[in-house]
């Protein structure tokens, strides 16, 4: 008989930030899937797991246990796996050689059988797999409640001042402005030669030092809140993200709906309301940005059609402008109904890496980018989130993210290149996307 999803309501007045500090701050393998003001956040401790290649069949096997029984009011995450899939997993999903191996595993997860769920209004509940709140589960419940009770009121978030970042540090860019601009021109040459329609060129910044992940993430979420934020710590690696882009959402069950929300097109925010409206309208009407977004929509439609029932793949939203703390973004939505016998793992295999981080056509784009970038992207440009025991999948793009390990911090950034791109504008966009992340790390300047 399968375990049940046990729920213990805790009432209101809770803060996910304070709860994470109280329950997980010093633990080695922890997660905080942070939906901010837009949804339920989940946090807790798990057991690390690094699936051996081939990764996706191993993940499917790990989720093969019977679905836990749950009542109708249970939250979407029914426990399971929380973690990330790296960009170099494309070697498995696309069946093509990978020229630069990442120093990180292609996938890393926490096996999660208990968690705290916190709603935006502060109402919280404990989740656990088991038959009843007794024995070890009862002890964990009581210890968790006690720790939360001793945590006190949540601290007021401190938004970093762009002019006065904490503990100034130096940033080392993989590419100078001139080098990145030259790579933009190389992308355009490949486009003129007919090898691609669009290429998502990326680079990265490195910041040496030792960082407190909880402190850095607190600064990041205060300055750049997002509906798909996260602090994930697996082994000696931390992923801190304020990602605005959902990669895949898959509803459980036969014929479940699969959705993706690619982002292509960026403008900075402006504190002046009139100027901010002008930038938003400029993004909405820009031919280059619209073409870039539509090409990726077509690519993702093609990816979903590989696993969805014929005629079910639609585009509910095209070229909508979403505004975040630092940027305006051009966002579209594509969805379809999975074919009978297929599931979320099949959807991941069909779609990873996401077209918004490769270009079109996808296979040739990844080959061209591998030659131009001359590095592994690692966690950046992959995906993170959860794979539920009930078959539900909710994964975000690993963008607007910081990776911390024993070497320090890395920040990936970049943008989509088309025939209409201007190299100097592409350099500025890449630096803009990295700015809030580097400020959270204490970088004093973006010059290099």
Secondary element (H or E) of residue 107: strand 107-112
Checking if the pLDDT of 208 tops 80, the result is yes
Residue 35 lies in a domain: yes
Per-residue model confidence (pLDDT) at position 166: 52
CATH code of the domain containing 329: 3.60.120.10
Cα gap 297→303, rounded to integer Å: 10
158 occurs within a structural domain = no
- Asked if the structure places residue 156 within a domain, the reply is no
What three-state secondary structure class fits 227? coil
pLDDT at 36: 87
pLDDT digits (tens, 9 = 90+) for 139-177: 999 999 999 998 765 455 455 555 554 556 889 999 999
**Residue 178 included in any domain:** yes
Is 348 within a domain?
yes
Q: Is the pLDDT of residue 261 over 70?
A: yes
| Calculated CA dihedral for residues 173, 428, 202, 377, nearest 10 degrees | 50
Domain, as residue range, for 106: 4-151+169-441
Asked if the model's pLDDT at residue 358 lies above 80, the reply is yes
Class of residue 311 by CB neighbours under 10 A (exposed 0-12, middle 13-18, buried 19+): exposed
Q: Which two tokens stand for residue 31?
A: 């997660």
Q: Is the pLDDT of residue 321 over 80?
A: yes
What's residue 25's pLDDT? 76
Angle, in degrees to the nearest 10, between helices 423-441 and 177-192: 130
Identify the pLDDT of residue 186. Answer: 98
Q: What is the mean pLDDT of residues 108-136?
A: 97
pLDDT surpassing 50 at residue 409:
yes
- The partner residues of 267 in beta bridges, in order of sequence, read 328
Residue 157 falls within a domain, yes or no? no
Which of residues 162 and 415 earns the better pLDDT score?
415
Residue 1 has pLDDT above 80, yes or no: no
Q: Is residue 74 part of a domain?
A: yes
Contact 104, 379 (CB under 8 A): yes
Our CA angle for 171, 174, 176, nearest 5°, is 85
Q: What's the CA gap between 379 and 383, in Å, rounded?
A: 8
Q: Which residue has the tokens 């979407």?
A: 76
Q: What is the mean pLDDT of residues 295-302?
A: 95
**Beta-sheet pairing, 4-11 with 124-130:** antiparallel
Phi/psi zone of residue 55: left (φ > 0), alpha (ψ -120 to 50 degrees), beta?
alpha
Rounded to 10°, the helix 16-23/213-223 angle is: 180
Examine residue 160 and state whether it is found in any structural domain, yes or no. no
In whole angstroms, give the CA distance from residue 48 to residue 29. 7
**Backbone dihedral angles phi then psi of residue 392, each to the nearest 5 degrees:** -75, 145
User: How many domains is the chain partitioned into structurally?
Assistant: 1
DSSP string over 367-390:
HHHHHHH-S--TTTTSEEEEEETT
Tokens coding 11? 């009432």
pLDDT at residue 300 in the model: 96
pLDDT digits (tens, 9 = 90+) for 51-80: 999 999 999 999 998 889 999 889 999 999
Predicted pLDDT at 133: 97
Residue 170 confidence (pLDDT): 87
């Amino acid at each position: 008989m399968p375990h049940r999803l046990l729920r213990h309501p805790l009432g209101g007045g809770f803060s996910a930030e304070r709860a994470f500090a109280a329950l997980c701050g010093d633990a080695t393998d922890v997660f905080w899937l942070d939906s901010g003001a837009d949804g339920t956040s989940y946090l807790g401790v798990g057991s690390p797991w690094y699936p051996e290649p081939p990764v996706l069949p191993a993940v499917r096997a790990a989720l093969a246990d019977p679905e836990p029984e749950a009542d109708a009011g249970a939250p979407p995450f029914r426990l399971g796996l929380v973690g990330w899939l790296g960009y170099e997993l494309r070697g498995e999903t696309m069946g093509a050689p990978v020229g630069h191996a990442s120093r990180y595993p292609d996938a890393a997860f926490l096996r999660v059988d208990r968690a705290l769920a916190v709603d935006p209004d502060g109402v919280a509940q404990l989740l656990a797999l088991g038959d009843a709140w007794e024995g070890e589960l009862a002890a964990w419940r009581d210890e968790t409640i006690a720790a939360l009770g001793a945590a006190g009121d949540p601290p007021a978030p401190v938004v970093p001042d762009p002019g006065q970042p904490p503990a100034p540090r130096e940033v080392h860019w993989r590419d100078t402005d001139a080098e990145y601009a030259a790579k933009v021109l190389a992308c355009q040459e490949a486009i003129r030669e007919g090898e691609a329609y669009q290429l998502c060129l990326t680079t990265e910044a490195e910041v040496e030092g030792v960082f407190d992940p909880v402190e850095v993430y607190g600064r990041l979420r205060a300055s750049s809140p997002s509906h798909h934020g996260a602090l994930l710590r697996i082994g000696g690696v931390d992923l801190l993200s304020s990602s605005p882009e959902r990669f895949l959402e898959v509803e459980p069950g036969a014929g479940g709906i699969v959705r993706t929300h690619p982002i292509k097109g960026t403008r900075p925010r402006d504190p002046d309301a009139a100027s901010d409206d002008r930038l938003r309208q400029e993004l909405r009407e820009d031919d280059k940005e619209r073409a870039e977004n539509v090409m990726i929509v077509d690519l993702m439609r093609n990816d979903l059609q590989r696993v969805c029932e014929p005629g079910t793949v639609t585009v509910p939203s095209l070229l909508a402008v979403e505004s975040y703390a630092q940027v305006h973004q051009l966002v579209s939505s594509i969805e379809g109904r999975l074919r009978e016998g297929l599931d979320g793992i099949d959807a991941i295999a069909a779609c990873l890496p996401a077209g918004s981080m490769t270009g079109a056509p996808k296979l040739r784009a990844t080959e061209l980018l591998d030659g131009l970038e001359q590095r592994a992207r690692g966690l950046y440009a992959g995906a993170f989130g959860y794979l539920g025991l009930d078959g539900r999948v909710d994964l975000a793009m690993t963008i607007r993210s910081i990776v911390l390990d024993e070497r320090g911090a890395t920040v990936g950034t970049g943008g989509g290149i088309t025939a209409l791109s201007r190299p100097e504008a592409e350099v500025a966009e890449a630096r803009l996307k990295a700015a809030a992340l580097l400020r959270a790390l204490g970088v004093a300047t973006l010059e290099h």
